[in-house]
Amino acid sequence: MGLENITKDMLWFAAIFFFTVPPVLRFRENYMVPLLATLLVFGFYTQAFWMPDFYAAQDWIGIVIICICILIAYFLCGWIVHYIWGKYKSVYLKNIGAFKPLFNAWIFSKYYQIGDDYIIEIRRLRMFEVAFADVAKIEYQFDAEPAIVSLRITDGVEREKEILNEFCIDETNPCFEKVCELINEHFPDIDENWLDNAQNSGNVMPVILFQKTPKAEN
């Protein structure tokens, strides 16, 4: 199709699609957002390319296929933005290769990269990484319903709300045991039995395992 055959309706379809990529990317955990955006873009598709007969059963096959293709396009566009945005956000990911961690985070919505000297929590368009040498506070919380211990690690740096401020992981995650091992290795003053104590105490309030003494101001 030549450029001379492109109509205003086709341009509107493309404009609305790319205009709705950012909110779908940002709120992809909420499936209503991509579904509603798909219906909106499909409406412009019918104006630009094909108007189905909603009373014809065979046309519904085409409607479903087109909507699925729009969702796939959202997914691919979101992944491209996610990868470009996150590829150079972490010095550690640059060293080990960012593709696999970012891809896993995009598919599963959360991914942990655990190293001997650092930990990274990756979410869609958000990331928090900290070296153990820079950790300012480690705390755990026991959640009674369900009975799970959650671990929080932060470097104490205040950040904007849209940026992760701490590394959060609970004992249902397979990486939890490795993180605990590294904590015991890097912070020998922490009781090695803190996890057992947390599970037995039933304390639902956050308990500080480690906290740096703030430097005195001159």
Residue 126 vs residue 25, higher pLDDT: 126
DSSP letters for 167-215:
EEEETTSTTHHHHHHHHHHH-TTS-TTHHHHHHHH---S-EEEEEPPPP
Give per-residue pLDDT as tens, 37-67.
Answer: 888 999 999 988 889 888 888 999 999 999 9
User: Which tokens in the block code for residue 18?
Assistant: 């790319």
**Using CA of residue 130, residue 131, residue 134, residue 138, what is the dihedral sign?**
positive
Cβ-proximal residues to 1 (8 Å cutoff; 6+ apart), any chain: none
Q: How confident is the model at residue 4 (pLDDT cuts 50, 70, 90)?
A: low
Give per-residue pLDDT as tens, 59-105.
Answer: 999 999 999 999 898 888 888 888 888 888 888 888 888 899 999 98
Write the Ramachandran bin of 111: left for phi over 0, alpha for psi from -120 to 50, otherwise beta. beta
Closest CA to 199 of 156, 151, 148: 148
Question: Please, what is the angle between helix 8-26 and helix 32-48, to 10°?
Answer: 170
DSSP letters for 27-96:
TTTSTHHHHHHHHHHHHHHHHHT----TT-HHHHHHHHHHHHHHHHHHHHHHHHHHHHHHHTT-HHHHHH
Question: Is residue 108 within 8 Å of 175, Cβ to Cβ?
Answer: no
Q: Is the pLDDT of residue 196 over 60?
A: yes
Residue 11 vs residue 29, higher pLDDT: 11
Q: State pTM to two decimals.
A: 0.75
User: Which tokens in the block code for residue 161?
Assistant: 């709300």
CA distance 135 to 128: 12
Per-residue buried b or exposed e for 59-73, using 16+ beta carbons within 10 Å of the residue's own CB: eeeeeeebbeebbee
